[in-house]
Amino acid sequence: MTALIPDLIPQHVAIIMDGNGRWASQRGLPRFEGHRRGVEALRKTIRAAEELGIRYLTVYSFSSENWKRPATEVSDLMGLLRRFIRNDLAELHSRNIRVRVIGVKEGLAPDIIALLDESEQLTKNNTGLTFVVAFNYGARREIANAARLIAQAVKAGEINTDAIDEKLVSNYLNTVGIPDPELVIRTSGEQRLSNFLLWQSSYSEFVFTSGHWPDFGRDALEEALLVYQSRDRRFGGLSSAMGGVR
Of 18, 20, 76, 136, the active-site residue reads 18
C-alpha 219/C-alpha 194 separation (Å) is 25
Per DSSP, the three-state class of 229 is helix
Active-site entry in 66, 126, 145, 195: 66
Bridge partners, 14 (sequence order): 58, 184
Q: Is 111 a catalytic residue?
A: no
Task: Name which of 113, 135, 114, 143 is nearest 67 in CA terms.
Answer: 135
Known catalytic residue at 88: no
Q: Within 13 Å, how many C-alpha atoms sit on residue 107's CB side? A: 7
> In this structure, what are the phi and psi dihedrals at residue 118, rounded to the nearest 5 degrees?
-60, -40
C-beta of residue 238 within 8 angstroms of C-beta of residue 221: no
Q: Which three-class secondary structure state does DSSP give residue 64?
A: coil
The three-class DSSP label of residue 124 is coil
Catalytic center residues? 18, 66
